[in-house]
Chain A
Amino acid sequence: MYLLTDSTPPVIHCSTSDDYIPQDPSNSDYQRVLDAIILEGADCFDGDIPADLQSAADAKLASGAYNANRV
């Protein structure tokens, strides 16, 4: 389950692993957050998915890069 923190700019907290993930497209954990949004939708987020993350996930799905970090 992911949650956006209130830092500036916000980072993403993963409650499963206790990781804090910056919103950086080069960060592989950030890419996994986008994968989770594509796969699970709102179920993976605590509260509504922030609009900018949803847009990034939509763009990733459209580009065909979904799951690129997996085999």
Chain B
Amino acid sequence: MAVSQIDPNGLNVGQLGSRNMVINGAMVFDQRNGAAAISSLVQYTTYTLDRWQYYSDQAGKFSFQQNQSSVTPPVGFTKYLGLTSLSAYSPGTNETVSISQHVEGFNSAQLNWGTSNAKTVSLSFWVRSSLTGTFSGVLAGGQNYIYTYAISSANTWEYKTITVPGSTTGTWNTGNTSGVRVFFTLGYGSGQVGTANAWQSADFAASGSVQVVGTSGATFQITGVQLEVSPTGEATPFEHRSYGEELAACQRYTYVIDGPTGGDRVGQAFISAARTAIVNINFPVVMRAKPTLEGTASPVTINDNATADNSTSIALNGANKQYATLTVTTGSDMNTYRGAQAYFTSTADNKIIFKAEL
């Protein structure tokens, strides 16, 4: 019999495509670090792989890397986020340590959370740890829901699914700010313990759940993270979006001009004063907000077809969501009011990072 209509309700999925509200859930993209090892994560503003924020009240508690320790990923995946605890640390009363992702309000608005029409979601992921026991995490926004999951075998990938009823109260952002935040808890103080499997106004972890930060050398690896509307309370298989589609999704929040070989072009420049060039940058996708120029940009060379000089400093001149200008200061005089090329000076590992993360 021919199939004349596909009924999503009959398939037990919220929608057929773009189900996963988590971006880079398969941990494929690491624009900032290019899969390099980061030996010591700093405090709560640090991003690891694309979209995955390390959140901690203390610096230096974890190292991380894409595919850290070269473990074979679960079937169907090629990458994972790996973290290793650098000490046996006991968090202070109100301290927290976690890995998390903000889901933008535009993408979570479909959940109708904060209303009587709130939808149930399913959170699913593959996880592997050197520790066993009950772990916890949080869905946070207008309220906090502390979920738990068990890892029964050390150093073994396990697939977890968690069903969370929709939150009917609280204020949930539905614009370009943080809508829902997905936390995987790695450590917590006693003041952050709440009720498991329930919505509440705050708190971060279930009582007695595993503290990865508490064991020196403990590992935590994760991939295949999916948050989806779940009419039946069941998770669907991980939605592998195309490489280009997922990269573009990441670039709404972080865009890295990457110059791995030197001489790679950055943008077109205009020499506005003897030692000042304005470099134009067009973003490949509309960013979530006017972006920050993150950290120290790699040096660039300004070449006006008569003279060329290297930058001594690079600053953000201005930006909107689609376009930015950089102020590049050079060490010697250029020919003013000329157009010029801007390209990376060094022969390796060049990066200019624009960040509009949540």
**Residues of A near any B CB (own CB < 8 A):** 5, 7-9, 11, 13, 17-22, 24, 26-29, 32, 69-71
Which one of B8-16, B122-130, B216-224, B288-296 contacts A? B288-296
Chain B contact-residue range equals: 20 to 34
B55 at the interface (CB under 8 A from A): yes
In the bound complex, residues from chain A placing their C-beta under 8 Å from that of B295 are: 17-19
- Which chain B residues numbered 185 to 242 have a C-beta less than 8 Å away from chain A? 192, 204
Contacting pair A29 B355 (CB below 8 A):
yes
Q: How far is the CA of A41 from the CA of B296 in the complex (A)?
A: 26
Of B25-33, B67-75, B311-319, the stretch lying at the interface with chain A is B311-319
Centre residue among B45, B140, B288 by max chain A CB count within 10 A: B45
Q: Give the distance to chain A from B108, nearest Cβ to Cβ, in Å.
A: 16
* B96 proximity list for chain A (CB < 8 A): 71
Q: Which residue of A lies closest to B144 (CB)?
A: A71
Instruction: Identify 28 residue pairs between A and B in the complex whose beta-carbon atoms are under 8 Å apart, listed by A's number.
Output: A5-B315, A5-B316, A7-B327, A8-B318, A11-B315, A11-B317, A17-B295, A18-B295, A18-B296, A19-B295, A20-B316, A21-B316, A22-B291, A22-B318, A24-B289, A26-B177, A27-B291, A27-B356, A28-B289, A28-B357, A29-B45, A29-B355, A32-B45, A69-B178, A71-B55, A71-B96, A71-B140, A71-B192
At the interface, yes or no: B358 with Cβ under 8 Å from chain A? yes
